[in-house]
């Protein structure tokens, strides 16, 4: 999968590409990722990417010409990609949108700054608008990192354990079950006996129970439209 990030601060991504899952995914050729400086596509000597808004008012707006050229250049590398504008006004990002993006051949992300981008970029070059939540950040770079991280871990072969992404919270419409590691007794709080029993069926049952209980307690909204399996209904009835 190809990720191209169009930004005026490409250096913000240096540490991101160089660590953890993303680094492994690049080295394993699961993803190709690069942050591209929009200023490369300016034509004036000051490499201007923003200007004052028509109609007046505070702040600056990202100019359309450099963005259009940057998107066109990225499209040459990844012609079948989805071009996504980061904006607090977009579709709210969640796990199902991460799965949707993971099926793309590539994604070109446009990071806004200042008051955002000239509307004609949205009209002519953007396939999708995504927000990471109902709050306003200074730029689209952090939201893009969040999305690339969430999407990359879903790509086949990226995570160490074959099924670890499948069991993550939200993948089955529930929060994930509780986890414990050594020591068995931490400040008087003991690991549940069932996890030490070696009985895989009982462990699976306990995990489903804790996933259902914690989803009910922490995120009851997730349960509203969810179709429960027969096994889950049996556990809930107990
Ligand atoms: N004036 C814009 C508005 O009120 O909708 C907000 C602009 S914001 C200061 C600058 C840029 O940060 C946006 O163009 C967008 O790329 C990015 N951004 C800010 N909050 C975001 C969010 N919640 N999700 C995605 N991108 C966001």
Under the banding of pLDDT at 50, 70 and 90, the label for residue 72 is very high
Task: Delimit the CATH 3.40.1280.10 region(s) of the chain.
Answer: 2-152
Mutation probe of ligand 1 site: the residue of 9, 88, 93 with most atoms within 8 A of C-beta: 88
Within 10 angstroms of residue 160's Cβ, the number of other Cβ atoms is 8
CATH annotation of 185-237: 1.10.1270.20
Q: What is the value of ipTM here, to two decimals?
A: 0.99
Q: What is the pLDDT of residues 18-48, one digit of tens each?
A: 999 999 999 999 999 999 999 999 999 999 9
Closest-CA residue, ligand 1 atom 26, reads 87
Task: Delimit the CATH 1.10.1270.20 region(s) of the chain.
Answer: 185-237
Q: Is the pLDDT of residue 237 over 90?
A: no
Q: Is 6 annotated as a binding residue?
A: no
Under the banding of pLDDT at 50, 70 and 90, the label for residue 162 is low
Q: What is the pLDDT of residues 181-196, one digit of tens each?
A: 999 999 999 999 999 9
Q: How large is the average pLDDT for residues 118-138?
A: 98
Alpha helix ranges (H) inside the chain: 14-17, 20-27, 64-77, 95-102, 119-125, 141-152, 200-218, 230-237
Phi, psi of 56 (to 5 degrees): 85, -175
Domain 2-152 has CATH 3.40.1280.10: yes
Distance of CA 124 to the CA centre of its chain: 24
Strand partners, 186: 189
Q: Is the pLDDT of residue 123 over 90?
A: yes
Within 10 angstroms of residue 40's Cβ, the number of other Cβ atoms is 13
Q: Is 133 in the pocket of ligand 1 (CB under 6 A)?
A: yes
């Amino acid at each position: 999968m190809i990720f191209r990030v169009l930004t005026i601060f490409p250096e913000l991504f240096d540490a991101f590409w160089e660590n953890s899952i993303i680094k492994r995914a690049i080295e394993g050729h699961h993803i190709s990722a690069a942050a591209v400086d929009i200023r490369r596509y300016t034509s004036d000597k000051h490499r201007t990417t923003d200007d004052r808004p028509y109609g007046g008012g505070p702040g600056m707006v990202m100019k359309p010409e450099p963005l259009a050229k940057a998107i066109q250049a990225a499209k040459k590398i990844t012609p079948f990609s989805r071009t996504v504008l980061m904006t607090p006004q977009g579709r709210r990002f969640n796990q199902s949108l991460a799965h949707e993006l993971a099926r793309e051949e590539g994604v070109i992300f446009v990071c806004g700054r200042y008051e955002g981008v000239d509307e004609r970029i949205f009209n002519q070059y953007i396939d999708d608008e995504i927000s990471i939540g109902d709050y306003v950040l200074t730029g689209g770079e952090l939201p893009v990192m969040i999305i690339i991280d969430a999407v990359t871990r879903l790509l086949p072969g990226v995570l160490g354990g074959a099924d670890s992404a499948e069991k993550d919270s939200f993948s089955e419409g529930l929060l994930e079950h509780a986890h414990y590691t050594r020591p068995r007794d931490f400040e008087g709080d003991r690991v549940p006996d069932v996890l030490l029993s070696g009985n895989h069926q009982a462990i699976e049952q306990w995990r489903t129970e804790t996933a259902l209980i914690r989803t009910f307690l922490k995120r009851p909204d997730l349960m509203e439209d969810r179709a429960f399996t027969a096994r889950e209904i049996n556990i809930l009835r107990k």
